[in-house]
Structure formats: C-alpha cells, structure tokens
Amino acid sequence: MIALFIAGAIAFFTALIGSGVLARTLRARGRSQPILELNADNIAVPQHQHKAGTPTMGGLAVLAGALAGYLLSHIRKGVVFSDQTLVMWVGVLAMAGIGFVDDFIKVRLKRNRGVLWKLKGVITLLVAIGIAAALVATSDIDTRLSFTNAATPGWEMGPLLWVLWAGCIIFATTNAVNITDGLDGLASGAAMFGFIAFGVIAFVGFRNPEQYPAIVNPYDLAVFAVAFAGGCAGFLWWNAAPARIFMGDVGALGLGAALALLALATNTQLLLPLLCGLNVLEIGSVAIQMAVFKASGGRRRVFRLSPVHHHFEMVGWPETTVIIRFWLIAAALVMAGMGLFIADFTRLVAP
C-alpha cells in the first residue's frame, strides 16, 4: 500500500510545481486559450472575457505528474509493471497527443477551434478502437460485459465485439470529460473523484483475488489510478477558480481515456456512468439540446445554453457556485457507484 501513497504524493507535487511553472512560462509567451463570445448558434455565452490571456495546455502537468508518480512508485520492491497498464499508458498518451495538437493550433492561430476540430471525432474514435484492440492483443483483459465484476452479468462478447464496445466507451468518455472542461476546476475535480474510486476498486481486487480473478495485476492498476488522482489534485491548486491555467484538450482527452481504460481493466464498464456521472450529465445535456433543437427546426431548446453548466450560469448562478454544486453532484454519484460496488463485494465474500 505504501506504493500508492508514493505514487499519489509524487504525482501531486510534480503536477503542483509543473502547473505553476507552465502557467508562468506560457503566460510570458502569450500561449493563452482564445475565449468565445458567441457559440456555434450565435448565442451569447456567459461573460468569460476576463479569462482572456489565461494559459492553456495545463493537462501536460497533470500527465507528467501522473507518469512520474506511477514510474517512481515502481522503485519500491514488489511493485511490478503489467503489460496491460503499459498499453493503457500508451493509449492515454495517444489521446493526449491528439488534444495537444489541437491545443497548439488553437493557441498558434488565436482561434477557439483547432484546424482538426471537424476531424477530431473520427480520429479519436479510430484511436480508441485501436487502443481497445491493443489491449485484447497484448494482455489477458477480460472480454465479458461487466458491471461491478467480470461475472456480473458476465456475458462473453468475444474479442471483436468487445473491441468495438470498449472503443466506444473510450471515445465517449474522452468527449464527455472534454465537454465538462468548461469552468475553472470543474473537470479536474470531478476526474479526481473518479480516479480515487477506481483506486479503491483496484485495491479491493488486489486484496481479494479469489473474488476478482479476472482483474490483471490490480495493484498496478491501483497505482495508476492514484497517480492520476494525485496529478489532478496538484493541478487543481492552479486550476481552481479563478484559474491560473486551463487544462486544454491535452488534459481532457488524456484524463477521459484514463478513466475509461480503468473501467475496462477493473471490469466495471457499466458502473462507469456513475463513477463519471457528472461527465454523463454534461454530454447528455448537449445531446438533448441538439436533438430537441434539430427536431423543432431550430425553434426550441431545453437549456438556455449547453453544456448544462452554462445553463446555470445563464440563469444567474455565479461560476464558483456552479462548480462547487457540480462537484457535490459528482461526489454523490461516485459514492452511489461505490455503494453498489461494495454491496456486490460483500455478496461475493459472504459465506
């Protein structure tokens, strides 16, 4: 268990220091996130112009912290790398790389959307499927449909169907986290709750191998999750309102991929909508808004503005109020998910 504390602490301090250095360096070079005044439908967005000049791409510090914490924790005797987790790291970095290219283009051209924005959905979907295929080809990951463990419901999907299913999960989660990243600290705080939950789940799997035999090297997965939780916490020091640096797509896509891959690796795929419940609500609000808007011929909207965090800003809630209340919602959903997991665990260990 000591390796978990090592991973979390190193990730926290690396992200904390790295975020501060990155914020000062990028601000000095004018590498800031362009701020929209109108959305795609020419609707005025909440007044965020005071954030103009805030550096972006802070997700680089989160990933650096998580990677440093993960790698250095393995210096401790008995902590071993697993093929599965290394493939997960490659997947996270691949998704983050897509986000970095898009962020760099935005900053370089001083536009809110990168050149890749029309193709980014297709690119991320293909990469997500590629990551899932790599997991099946190189590791012993379980290919059953799972809720709180591989045996529940335990329907065997087979490699091909599972790859498509897992690819969609990775794709959807990365986009959901990206959409959530619209207010200071909202996405990083919610992601931190999710990573803590996955750290607990993986550690329970490590301590109870008879009940969770399908999880491949659960201790390494726990270290992976805790490292990301520490990275998010360190970054949140600078990203909390008023943010000194934004996460950017490099961070949102990387964190989304990590959360999805942890759900797949710990056999909690169907529990993911609760452990990332706030992200589901955010992307769901966008889907509902678009569906109603198109179905009504552009005459009706459910929300004043989507994602839903902007709706509450338009209603009159201060940004910090929206953030804190949404964090509370995220925490409550994570606790509900963990409650289901613990309830199932007690059933498994009952005589």
CA dihedral in degrees (159, 164, 166, 170; nearest 10)?
150
Three-class DSSP category at 152:
strand
Q: Tell whether the torsion through CA atoms of 315, 320, 323 and 327 is positive or negative.
A: negative
pLDDT, tens digit only, all 351 positions of the chain: 899 999 999 999 999 999 999 999 988 876 666 665 545 554 545 566 666 678 889 999 999 999 999 999 999 888 899 999 999 999 999 999 999 988 888 777 666 655 555 678 889 999 999 999 999 999 999 999 999 999 999 999 999 999 999 999 999 999 999 999 989 999 999 999 999 999 999 999 999 999 999 999 999 999 999 999 999 999 999 999 899 999 999 999 999 999 999 999 999 999 999 999 999 999 999 999 999 999 888 889 999 888 999 999 999 999 999 999 999 999 999 999 999 999 999 999 876
Question: What is the tally of helices (H) and strands (E) in the chain?
Answer: 12, 2
Distance CA 196, CA 177 (A): 16
CB-CB contact of 88 with 250 (8 Å): no
CB-CB contact of 150 with 218 (8 Å): no
Q: Where are the domains of the chain?
A: 2-272
User: Which among 61, 84, 85 has a CA at the least distance from the CA of 73?
Assistant: 85
**pTM (two decimals):** 0.94
Q: How far is CA 244 from CA 20, 149, 199, in A?
A: 8, 40, 28
